[in-house]
Amino acid sequence: MRRTRSTWPALIAASVLTLTACGGSEDAGTEDSGGEAAAEYPTETINLIVPYAAGGPTDLAARTIGSCIEEELGQTVVVENREGASGSVGMQAMIAGGNDGYSLSLIAVPASATNPLQDDVGYTNEDYVPIAAVTQIPSALIVGADSRFADAEAFFSYAEENPGELNVGVPGSTTSQAMELRRLAEEYGVEVTAVPFTGNAEMTTAILGGNVDAIFINSSQDVLENIDAGSFVPLAVSPPEPVDYIEAPTLAESGFEELTNSVSVFGLAAPTGVPDNVVSTLEETVDTCLQKDEVREQLGEQYVPDEFIGSDEFSTRIDEIVEAYGPILQE
């Protein structure tokens, strides 16, 4: 996915030339005001949509970065939760809000990228522009404190012997967690039943209530708190390398060498066609925010990328996800 260059500057220039030729210099100044408004961005309230339920990692990232953007740019940022359809409802709302830079979303990748590969969700991956990543959060396979499974080996052995019997909650049907469970079955012959939820809060309720056997969840701060309290027992984590703040082996160490992609990236996005200077302003502002100690503390120091992931790098990350999961979704 590549950033779509805005045609506004060219259209404005053409309008100015036409009006000048007709002797309408006063009107020409009026036409140019649109360009000036873009250059002075922002001049009005920014709407930041969270396509998931309140209280989850996307919501936390949005409210933290939204507050900092508000402080840095001097304009109100209103955060609105528009959950549903694995994030698609929020994406549609963001795109419908217009491409002037005042309608943004805190997207969760890979869900935002995989949704349009699987269903007609009202948008494609060409309809939005990634601006900057805010956090990266690995996933963890977790059971409740009273689970019959003491470790990953016991869990996967049972799943292999009893295909589809174990129910595993995931944060949406097109998330990386759901995709990796499909790969678990297709590439390793270990089948579990994925149960999609709208966010961490629902998944937490489900596992504590014994409604699912396990959850494959973003290891955000609320999850770490439940691990520390003993309510959650982590069986395995998703990245290629061990996670130093979760005592559990990686999926690769558990015998599933290829299952290393379930790391959620939460970042800012805007509808395609947003002026380049607006993208640059927001990109630079996110970079500034992520260097602030108080912002890093609120997001969780362990989740902030070691190196800033700007618009181009974020776009590349999405392209890689589409390449990896596209064939699975289009089977």
Structural domains of the chain ordered from first start:
8-38 (no CATH), 39-136+264-329 (3.40.190.150), 138-237 (3.40.190.10)
- pLDDT reading at 57 higher than 60: yes
Query: CB under 8 Å to 13, separation ≥6 — which residues?
Result: none
Diameter over CA atoms, the chain: 83
From the list 208, 216, 258, the residue with the least C-alpha distance to 235 is: 216
**Of the candidates 43, 64, 115, which has an alpha carbon nearest to the alpha carbon of residue 326?**
115
Q: Report which of 153, 177, 142 is spatially closest to residue 260, judged by C-alpha positions.
A: 177
211: number of CA atoms within 13 Å, CB side? Answer: 14
Q: What is the pLDDT of residue 301?
A: 92
Give percent above pLDDT 90 in the chain.
Answer: 68
In this structure, the chain runs to a length of: 331
pLDDT tens string 116-138: 988 889 999 999 999 999 999 99
Give the C-alpha separation, 161 to 140, whole Å: 22
pLDDT of 77-101, one tens digit each? 999 999 988 789 999 999 999 999 9
Rounded Cα gap, residues 93 and 101, in angstroms: 14
Cβ atoms of residues 96 and 275 within 8 Å: no
Given this model, what pLDDT does residue 175 score? 81
Angstrom distance (rounded) from CA 46 to CA 278? 12
Position 61 pLDDT exceeds 50 = yes
Mean pLDDT of the chain: 87
Give the global pTM: 0.74
| Confidence at residue 263, expressed as pLDDT on a 0 to 100 scale | 86
Is pLDDT above 60 for 266? yes
Say which residues have a Cβ less than 8 Å from residue 310's Cβ, sequence separation at least 6: 131, 132, 283, 287
The pLDDT value recorded for residue 38 is 61
Place of tokens 């419908």: 96
**Which conformational region is residue 74 in: left (phi greater than 0), alpha (psi within -120 to 50 degrees), or beta?**
left
> What is the band of 174 on the pLDDT scale with cuts at 50, 70, 90?
confident
State the residue for tokens 């069986």: 235
229-265 confidence digits (pLDDT tens): 999 999 999 988 899 899 999 999 999 998 988 888 9
- Predicted confidence (pLDDT) per residue in 23-49, tens digit: 443 344 433 444 555 678 999 999 999
Distance, CA of 144 to CA of 213 (rounded, Å): 8
HEC states along the chain?
CCCCCCCHHHHHHHHHHHHHHCCCHHHHHHHCHHHHHHHCCCCCCEEEEECCCCCCHHHHHHHHHHHHHHHHHCCCEEEEECCCHHHHHHHHHHHHCCCCCCEEEEEEECHHHHHHHHCCCCCCCCCEEEEEEEEEEEEEEEEECCCCCCCHHHHHHHHHHCCCCCEEEECCCCCHHHHHHHHHHHHHCCCCEEEECCCHHHHHHHHHCCCCCEEEEECCHHHHHHHHHCCEEEEEECCCCCCCCCCCCECCCCCCCCCCCCEEEEEEEEECCCCHHHHHHHHHHHHHHHCCHHHHHHHCHHHCCCCCCCHHHHHHHHHHHHHHHHHHHCC
Question: Which sign does the torsion angle of CA 314, 285, 218, 210 carry?
Answer: negative
pLDDT beyond 70 at 177 = yes
Which residues, 6+ apart, have CB-to-CB distance to 311 below 8 Å?
3, 129, 130, 131, 132, 279, 283
